[in-house]
């Protein structure tokens, strides 16, 4: 099976794309794969070990989900998650991904990664975070967002896509979930920001 490498860009806005490894295919005769959707923390935990093999001091900078056909992002779950990891000791970064998608054009199932990129530790907008701060998963963040306008949007449109973004706010020293009701971060009907350590509502945009 051919493998395609896509470039990693570590600049705002981030672009995290799949890399060049895939899980081995299942033997012939097995049941067809089905769509698997998981929370952000589940996907992140799957990527931690491969990231630490890449760099022992690897820490996540930003976690993002994607949406697509049969993968609307409801209930805090997605079939595709991407994480940018930084290795401060090497001033390098690398993107990793987890996929539960199926289909001819779907990225490889399981954990994949892209090429190395540069990392500037002095850039406050791309600061890595300690995993100990992540106490609230994306499914809980979704529940909070539903209480602050999201429910009404889904009642109007059951197919409304929902994206998730997790990052560190260096100004407030907070790890935050952004629950984005839209197909793109910069084109949303509503974004609800939730504290990823306490589960408290912060604000909506």
- Confidence band, pLDDT 50/70/90 cuts, at residue 3: very low
Q: What is the mean pLDDT of residues 83-101?
A: 96
How far apart are alpha carbons 45 and 23 in whole angstroms?
Answer: 17
Residue 23 lies in a domain: no
Could you give the number of structural domains in the chain? 1
pLDDT beyond 70 at 14: no
Q: Is residue 168 part of a domain?
A: yes
Answer yes or no: is 27 within a domain.
Answer: no
pLDDT more than 70, % of the chain: 84
Residue at 8 is within a domain = no
> What's the pLDDT at 124?
85
Residue 28: both structure tokens together: 């012939």
Mean pLDDT of 174-197: 96
d(CA 75, CA 35): 15
Lowest mean pLDDT across 22-36, 57-71, 102-116, 120-134: 22-36
CA distance 20 to 5: 5
Per-residue pLDDT of 33-77, as tens digits, reads 899 999 999 999 999 999 999 999 999 999 999 998 889 999 999
Confidence of residue 31 (pLDDT cuts 50, 70, 90): low
Cα–Cα dist 143/131, whole Å: 22
- The parent domain of residue 64 ranges over 38-204
| Domain contains 81 | yes
* In a domain? residue 24: no
Name the helix (H) or strand (E) containing 152: helix 151-156
The stretch 130-157 carries a mean pLDDT of: 97
Of the ranges 9-18, 19-28, 60-69, 103-112, which is most confident? 60-69
For residue 78, tell me if it sits in a domain.
yes
Q: Own/partner pairs for 195-199, CB < 8 Å, 24+ apart?
A: 195/136, 196/133, 196/134, 196/135, 196/136, 196/141, 196/166, 197/133, 197/134, 197/135, 197/136, 198/135, 198/136, 199/135, 199/136, 199/140, 199/141, 199/144
- Mean pLDDT for 149-155 is 97
- Residue 12 in any domain: the answer is no
């Amino acid at each position: 099976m051919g493998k395609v490498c896509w470039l990693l860009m570590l600049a705002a806005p981030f672009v995290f794309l799949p890399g060049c490894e895939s899980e081995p295919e299942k033997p012939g005769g097995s049941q067809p794969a089905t769509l698997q959707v998981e929370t952000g923390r589940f996907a992140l935990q799957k990527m931690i070990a491969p990231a630490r093999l890449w760099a022992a001091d690897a820490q996540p900078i930003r976690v993002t989900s994607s949406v697509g056909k049969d993968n609307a992002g409801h209930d805090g779950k997605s079939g595709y998650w991407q994480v940018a990891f930084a290795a401060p000791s090497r001033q390098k970064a690398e993107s990793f991904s987890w996929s539960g998608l199926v289909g001819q054009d779907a990225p490889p199932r399981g954990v994949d990664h892209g090429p190395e990129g540069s990392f500037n530790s002095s850039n406050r907008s791309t600061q890595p975070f300690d995993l100990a701060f992540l106490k609230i998963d994306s499914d809980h963040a979704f529940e909070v967002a539903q209480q602050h306008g999201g429910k009404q949007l889904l009642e109007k449109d059951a197919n409304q896509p929902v994206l998730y973004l997790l990052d560190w706010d260096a100004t407030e020293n907070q790890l935050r979930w952004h629950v984005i009701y839209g197909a793109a971060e910069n084109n949303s009907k509503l974004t609800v920001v939730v504290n990823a350590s306490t589960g408290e509502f912060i604000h909506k945009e």
